[in-house]
């Protein structure tokens, strides 16, 4: 996905001035570098057309988004409050947030240490902006462009039994800590039902290949998947 060259140049000029660094200290934004830097975010965030909420909200069209406003994603109250108080993601705010996430919004729950190098932030934000331009997510049609897989739709219709889910979760929490802490295993606490169900389906159907997870889900019935989804999505991440 490439933004038109002119837009990129304008953006990089803007970004250099807004990311809190003087132009003298920085080079021009390097989109290739920016794309690589997104590897630090990928485990938790999707971006691009059809991006879905994961451990973190999808970042499609994040520029101009009110903080904490993606429907169906379970934000911390700190993030929701920031949005209610008028925080809109622009280059400047994003730069400050990514530098020190914990300091910028106290109590938000993004487990990311921070990106200390100003030039890295400039590069990453320029790349995010180039992607963001081509795929605005605040577009009300996004949901339709990103259809829910049939299996997920069917399971979403079942009324998951949260208590049964809690009982079944005994099989999961040995690896996926209820506290949400990760240690290399993705956190599944508070993740949106739709994402949860779709990913289990992807293990069942070999779209995802992790053997550990395939073994765990192959014998789960739809009712059990619905119950687990009801339980895990109801938990509040710490």
Nearest to 196 by CA among 167, 146, 163, 160: 160
- Count Cα atoms within 13 angstroms, Cβ side, for 193: 24
The yes or no reply on residue 175 touching ligand HEC (CB under 6 A) is yes
Q: Using CB under 6 A, pick the residue from 51, 67, 129, 137 that binds ligand HEC.
A: 67
Q: Using CB under 6 A, pick the residue from 207, 210, 236, 238 that binds ligand HEC.
A: 210
CB atoms within 10 A of CB 42: 10
Nearest to 237 by CA among 74, 84, 114, 57: 74
Cα 159 to Cα 164: distance, rounded to the nearest angstrom? 12
The yes or no reply on residue 89 touching ligand HEC (CB under 6 A) is yes
Taking CB under 6 A as the rule, which mask of x and - marks residues 137-166 in contact with ligand HEC?
------------------------------
Please give the structure tokens belonging to residue 66: 């009110």
The yes or no reply on residue 14 touching ligand HEC (CB under 6 A) is no
Q: Using CB under 6 A, pick the residue from 98, 129, 137, 155 that binds ligand HEC.
A: 98
Q: Which stretch binds ligand HEC (CB under 6 A): 6-14, 22-30, 143-151, 196-204?
A: 196-204
The yes or no reply on residue 16 touching ligand HEC (CB under 6 A) is no
Q: Is 33 exposed, middle or buried (0-12, 13-18, 19+ CB in 10 A)?
A: middle
The yes or no reply on residue 44 touching ligand HEC (CB under 6 A) is yes
Cα 232 to Cα 192: distance, rounded to the nearest angstrom? 9
Nearest to 125 by CA among 151, 103, 97, 106: 97
What residue ranges bind ligand HEC (CB under 6 A)? 40-41, 43-45, 54-57, 59, 62, 65, 67-68, 70, 75-76, 78-79, 89, 94, 98, 108-112, 115, 171-172, 174-176, 185-186, 188, 196, 199-200, 208, 210, 212-213, 216, 228
């Amino acid at each position: 996905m490439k933004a038109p060259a002119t837009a990129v140049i304008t953006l990089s000029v803007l970004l250099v001035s807004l990311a809190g660094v003087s132009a003298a200290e920085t080079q021009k934004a390097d989109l290739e570098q920016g794309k690589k830097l997104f590897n630090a975010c990928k485990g938790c965030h999707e971006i691009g057309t059809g991006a879905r909420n994961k451990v973190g909200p999808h970042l499609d069209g994040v520029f101009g988004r009110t903080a904490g406003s993606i429907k169906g994603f379970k934000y911390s109250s700190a993030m929701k409050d920031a949005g209610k108080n008028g925080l809109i993601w622009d280059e400047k705010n994003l730069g400050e947030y990514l530098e020190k996430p914990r300091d910028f919004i106290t109590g938000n729950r993004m487990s990311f240490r921070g990106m200390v190098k100003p030039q890295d932030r400039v590069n990453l934000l320029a790349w995010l902006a180039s992607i963001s331009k081509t795929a605005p997510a605040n577009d009300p049609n996004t949901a339709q462009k990103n259809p829910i897989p049939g299996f997920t739709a069917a399971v979403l219709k079942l009324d998951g039994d949260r208590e049964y889910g809690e009982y079944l979760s005994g099989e999961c929490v040995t690896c996926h800590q209820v506290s949400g802490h990760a240690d290399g295993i993705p956190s599944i606490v508070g993740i949106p039902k739709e994402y949860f169900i779709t990913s289990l389906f992807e293990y069942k159907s070999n779209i995802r290949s992790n053997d550990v997870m395939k073994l765990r889900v192959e014998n789960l019935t739809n009712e059990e998947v619905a119950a687990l989804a009801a339980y895990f999505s109801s938990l509040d991440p710490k």
